Chain A
Amino acid sequence: MSAFGLFTQILQLLLSLLLAPFFLGWLNQCRAWLQNRQGAGIEQPYRKLGKLFHKDAVIAESASPLFRMVPYVLFGAMCLAASIVPSLATDLSFSKAADAIALAGIFALARIAISLAAMDIGTAFGGMGARREMLVGFLAEPALLMVLFTASLISRSTSLTVIVETLAHRHFEIYPSMAFAGIAFLMVLLAENARLPVDNPASHLELTMIHEAMILEYSARHLALIEWASSIKLFAYVTIGIALFVPWGIAQAADWLGMAFALPILIAKLLVAGAGLALIETLVAKQRIFRAPEFMGTAFLFGVLGMLVHFLLGA
């Protein structure tokens, strides 16, 4: 375990924790601008977290200990996920702990935890939200795996750091398979992070909400942790996307100078990604929940096509 590895690992984790609310704020702000609204400002998620941490928690009488544990499990899982995705450098101390497949597993763990907590209280909304979340997750997961497999096939490894290193440091080539995987990944990202067109993060309409329905019973610090975890999840997804599809500029092992450049490059990419996501969310309409399987099926299709194209064309 090199000193550089440890340093980048800690730096990256801290950065994820701090930048995640910023990214969410930036995304919402872009959306507001695109929709001709003033917007709450980029710092709004931080303010919200601060407010929630200062409140007293209220917990339902019927809640079991599981209900209290889940926010921490969720937050822990997301921190782990954020720390194994190479966003600044490809030399990460934790990277040996989990590969791309384990990453999908970590997301699944978090999903199961929150679904259980949602059902724990026994309210109608919780159960409904949990059911919908599992449906989306169940369909999104294979698609995500297909995307990761396509990338793994190119680099011949499932380790995220190796994948990113291979992709970042070979001369520019057009990979049709990666283009397919990119589309699939974008669709998975939207669905998994409760964004339009699968879920609307800004709505509490009982007919359509998925994520919000599950966390209705949470308050104060628990809610803060969950909100924070969701923003880290979104951040992690975006950095996976950046690492797989536009990895240029990431620092190599023991490359202190590269590190200095990596951070501004990453932030620039995040700004562009946020604006792009905001644009997509402005352009598409919320789909009926029954169309979600079709949406995820298409994502899966793209993932599989990416893999097949890779096999046939070798690229």
Chain B
Amino acid sequence: MMEILAVLGFPLLGGALLAIWGERRWAPEFNSATSLCTFLAASLLAFRILVSGPLIVLNEQFFVDSFNVFLVVLTAFVSFTTTLFSRPYMRNEQILSSLSSQQLRLYHSMYQIFCFTMLLALLTNNLGILWVAMEGATLATVLLVSLYRSRESLEAAWKYFILCGVGIAQALFGTILIYFAAEKVLGAGGTALLWTHLDAAKGSLEPTVLSIAFVFLLVGYGTKVGLVPLHSWLPDAHAEGPTPVSAVLSGLLLNVALYAVVRCKILVGGALQNRFADDLMIGFGLLSVLTAAFLLWKQKDIKRLFGYSSIEHMGLMTFAFGIGANFAGLLHMTVHSLTKSAIFFAVGHAVQHSGTKSIDAIRGLIQSPAVGWGLMLGGLAILGMPPFGVFTSEFLILTHAMQSHPWATPVLLVALGVAFASIFGKVQAMVWGEMEGKTLPHAPAFLPILLHLGIVLILGLYIPPHLARWYHEAARLIG
């Protein structure tokens, strides 16, 4: 219980303090420190769960099991490493894009609030609060995306808000329908929205209502996952916001939204006793993978490129959870989150280094070895090259698909092939070649890139038995 309060309290308190002092010279360090504390608290929480099993506390409002504690740790970890990256990055930005002190305050404060809403969404046991937290995360990121207040960033933020606002309103309708179905079984009042109670009673929930509810929930939270055809906010928001925000959007927020979808799927699947929810997820997932893979080819903006790549991978995970490859799906969540944020770290420095986001204009990143190699290796990792972890998870998803849905395998292979060709060609061109870049006033942070890629590499070669047991436990919970 103390751990949960700490996990939620640190970012909230940090956000409040940074709203006052966010422009001070030591604010980035304070930001990192807050995230480090959150991460430590999350690790402690995970340890507790591993030792003593699921935890339901505070009037049943919070619920932690292996599934969400693993995402809590991942979220806390990536948000911590992102603050490390953001430290020199934002200092450079302050000079290059002349951010005002007010903007810096907003950035630091909203970053922590954003982490808070994501952790709240993961930890809460109440589907209504889950919705509130997701909407809160949208609002916080809208402010982050529009940070530069340029035409493009305002447009991206507006698009993001309207699309996700509309989408998430559909999710609220779905939540209302679930409450409506649950009220009949569990009685009126607070318990009818508590996930643990719903899970226990899922067999007796009304199937018709739940199937309609799931459509609304999938459309709603699916908009935030970035599933095609509801994805059009995602590349814009990734491209126009500050790079640390792109990293946490791709690495974390999409995961949290997918977490919400999966939680709902568990309920609906249990109530319906058929594959309706799974089939919907398979359909949306495949469509996203395919569309995003082919759209990758046309991208000219480096951040949009990796934004589309995120759509592709989120589609793959949705597909994986749809066919029941839960272990592979969870592993892919982890490795994608780590790899994609590492890529965005490298991309951020590359963009600062060359002063442009256009793929055609960025050349010779290898001059700064860590950026060049980081982007190259990150690119290879995200494309599913062995020995990185993405290869393992994609391999597992593909083999599982071959067993249960053989027809989907060629589709996936084509999509992965197209994605490989587009991204590899573009990344290679950017890394090699000749170009005079700027020298940055603050040296880039390499530690986060190395750390992330290192973990992904290790996960590709060897999954520690503790971790594997943990994944299996979580995969079993998803069912």
Q: Judge A-B direct contact (beta carbons within 8 Å).
A: no
